[in-house]
Structure 1
């Protein structure tokens, strides 16, 4: 079946084929969530903060991605649906407010907001989803309910039990696609991939915000302007690495699959792989903010690892994304990840701007080399049209 036939079939089923402005409005809360998580790391950079960010973003991402699956099936085309989506949006906003103190004083608020988000998601999906997804939503709602209960329970305890309960909640979410059959969900590839692409753009935008945040109260000097240019270039490299080819390729690969076979690769590529990619963006944004703050000085190991390690995680996420969807040269992103994380010692042993400059050159070099190989093999995208044959 061709892509056009898939689109006609999805439209006939009443599916949502393009992202709506309400969904873009919904994404504004996600900007705040990413900002809060970035600040949570920069406040006390290190492995403990990294673990907290992974746990918090893990449970948040599962449900945020769940709302993308929801609106892929349940278009916000009525007042009742829009109202409940706004209630869910309110839950995500409260959740984001609780992020900075989630492992200290606001754990209960975090848990209660998470329960609200789950209830709205399951209720909307069950009451408005098509007949093919109802049974699957019931099983999904049970798994999500267990996870939400663990998050809420974790909010009432302190210390290592909270870490344990939230880790168990994340484990339940990771295992859920293997406990239920995701083929029961209808995946409308155009809308589904566009929504995930927009979320990645929103997250990369946080790295731009980090540049401005790092400049607060500083004198604007030629050296500082040069470092800003490097930071913006790195943000562009992240954008191009995914949107130059992989975003479009991913949609084509998912759309080419029969409807009942899209569920599993959709979970693996746009759930698990994008999760690693997004954690990479959060760490990179934190690293940029801390690096700009140090400028012509060396940086602590936590800051250096956040910057280079964040880009490396981004490439690891892309490796998994390519691997799941059968896209070309997934191994190349793994090599790029190793090369980028190896630049971290430069910031510790030398200066922050030196690490940033070398990181930009290394990361962009691997992306460009990959593109050159692809173009020679006939690859093209909306940004790089196919070469004309003489």
Structure 2
């Protein structure tokens, strides 16, 4: 047994035929990311420009990357073990520091943001390397490769933190690009080659549930924004109508993903011959599109609630009110195509209608435009729901 390795096996003990459950401590860990998503949403609202949108997208991709890699780790390691719990608690503290720095991540708090980020990525990955060294040689090699890629990207993160503003963003893009390319490159290193997706022996049901829970986090943030905004607004007809439209939008978004998509994804990954490959695409890359769509939609809802009527929607308002739902629908198309090989016709029609609403959105006040997008999302959700019912009837006939 190596001196620099765990004394006891910290891996989850999987029972054939039984799903790996999501533990309460994993849900507790997720609370930090509720705050992170809220911070990103508020940052986008305050900087509703092209550069602000790019920066918000970048921050979301970074936050998502921390969370999804931690979910991979807890798919293998047992969160009920004290050492694993301690790791999650330390990551929570670092995640809280990361989240507080988000509004000024490109300005005065760049070193804080980077310090928290690379600490989370390196410490968590080093922990699983330590935990698996004497108990799972294949996973030890895989995670050692992952650690090497994070060490490489950390060089660029640190360099960017101390560069000038424009240069900083460019260097950080390189850092994040390295991290996002690494799974597609199968974490190739010169000394140990590349991983095989068949080596990534995961519990598909656990991965699907964890991803679904992050979608819930994003939808929950949307509910919080809607509630907080209406609580401070004058209860005019326009404000109440915008509030109802925002609620219906959130409801439709939940329906679109959870009525068929979440279940479809779970069944696909549980039945897959190579669950690691499917998880890499469907549950590592794709969900960030859904979360981005929800965040942008929440910003649009807040704008519509604050100024529902009395003026035609400005370009930025039109873009977030129609672009957020469109991005969410596009994310669902990509996810469902990945897990089923089919593109829902309802989603394609809905996406085209949202694009049409975006073209003519400047002719409407924010509240009516918000209502239009909510109706489009409801149509998409109901259409897919009816098709699902028809398929069930045919299968049971």
Same topology, TM > 0.5? yes
Note if 1:365 corresponds to 2:379: yes
Note if 1:240 corresponds to 2:246: no
Query: Residue 299 of structure 1 contacts residue 348 of structure 1 at CA under 8 Å; is this kept in 2?
Result: yes
> Number of residues paired by the alignment?
373
2:165 corresponding residue in structure 1: 159
Partners of 2:141 and 2:183 in 1: CA distance: 14
Deviation at 1:305, TM superposition (A): 0.9
Partners of 1:318 and 1:20 in 2: CA distance: 27
Unaligned runs of 5+ in 2: 1-11, 187-194
1:292 corresponding residue in structure 2: 305
Distance 1:335 1:155, change over 3 A: farther
Query: Residue 320 of structure 1 contacts residue 330 of structure 1 at CA under 8 Å; is this kept in 2?
Result: no
Deviation at 1:158, TM superposition (A): 2.1
Deviation at 1:378, TM superposition (A): 2.7
Partners of 1:96 and 1:150 in 2: CA distance: 20
1:116-154 C-alpha deviation (Å, 9 max, x unpaired): 101221122212243331100011111122223322221
Match of 2:332 among 296, 318, 322: 318
Unaligned runs of 5+ in 1: 1-8, 380-385
Note if 1:27 corresponds to 2:30: yes
1:383 corresponding residue in structure 2: none
Which range moves more in the overlay, 354-363 or 298-307?
298-307
Distance 1:331 1:123, change over 3 A: farther
The SS at the match of 1:149 is: helix
Question: What are the within-5 Å matches in structure 2 for residues 269-308 of structure 1?
Answer: 269-296=282-309, 297-308=311-322
Query: Residue 154 of structure 1 contacts residue 161 of structure 1 at CA under 8 Å; is this kept in 2?
Result: yes
1:97 corresponding residue in structure 2: 100
Note if 1:199 corresponds to 2:205: no
1:225-272 C-alpha deviation (Å, 9 max, x unpaired): 2221111110000000000011011000000012xx111211111111
Distance 1:168 1:244, change over 3 A: same
Query: Residue 242 of structure 2 contacts residue 301 of structure 2 at CA under 8 Å; is this kept in 1?
Result: no
Distance 1:212 1:149, change over 3 A: farther
2:54 corresponding residue in structure 1: 51
The SS at the match of 1:11 is: coil
Partners of 1:200 and 1:371 in 2: CA distance: 19
Provide the TM-score with structure 2 as the length reference. Answer: 0.88
Provide the TM-score with structure 1 as the length reference. Answer: 0.90
1:56-85 C-alpha deviation (Å, 9 max, x unpaired): 111221121000001010111222221111
Query: Residue 283 of structure 1 contacts residue 309 of structure 1 at CA under 8 Å; is this kept in 2?
Result: yes
Give the superposed CA RMSD: 2.2
Partners of 1:113 and 1:199 in 2: CA distance: 21
